[in-house]
Amino acid sequence: MKKIITALDEALQRDESVALATVVEVKGASPAQVGFKLLVQPDGSVVGNLGGGALEQRVREEAVTALQEGRSRLVHYTLREEGPGALGMLCGGEVTVFIEVYQPAPTLLIVGGGHIGQPLAEMACIVGFNVQVVDVRPERATVPEFDPAAITPWTYVVLITEDHVADEQALRQVLDTPMAYLCRHDRQPAQGGGYLRPPAR
CATH number of domain containing 169? 3.40.50.720
Q: What is the pLDDT of residue 85?
A: 65
Q: Is a pLDDT exceeding 70 seen at residue 198?
A: no
**How large is the average pLDDT for residues 83-109?**
83
- Percent of the chain's residues with pLDDT above 90: 44
Q: Could you tell me which of 201, 110, 100 has the C-alpha nearest to residue 155?
A: 110
Q: Among the three residues 102, 120, 139, which one is the final residue of a domain in this structure? A: 102
Residues 132 and 88 in one domain: no
Q: Could you tell me which of 37, 31, 33, 34 has the C-alpha nearest to residue 90?
A: 31
Q: In the structure, what pLDDT confidence band is assigned to residue 200 with cuts at 50, 70 and 90?
A: very low
Angle ∠(155,10,51) on CA atoms, nearest 5: 115
Q: What is the pLDDT of residue 104?
A: 84
Residues 65 and 114 in one domain: no
Q: Among the three residues 102, 136, 158, which one is the final residue of a domain in this structure? A: 102
**How large is the average pLDDT for residues 160-167?**
83
**Total structural domains within the chain:** 2
Q: Among the three residues 82, 102, 122, which one is the final residue of a domain in this structure? A: 102
Q: What pTM did the predictor assign?
A: 0.66
Residues 8 and 88 in one domain: yes
Residues 137 and 88 in one domain: no
**By residue range, what is the domain housing residue 37?**
2-102
Q: In the structure, what pLDDT confidence band is assigned to residue 189 with cuts at 50, 70 and 90?
A: very low
Residues 138 and 186 in one domain: yes
52 burial type by CB count under 10 A (0-12 exposed, 13-18 middle, 19+ buried):
exposed
The type of residue at 148 is P
Residues 46 and 83 in one domain: yes
How far apart are the C-alpha atoms of 106 and 101, rounded to whole Å? 14
Q: What is the pLDDT of residue 34?
A: 94
Q: Is a pLDDT exceeding 90 seen at residue 72?
A: yes
Residues 96 and 113 in one domain: no
**How large is the average pLDDT for residues 23-52?**
91
Residues in the chain: 201
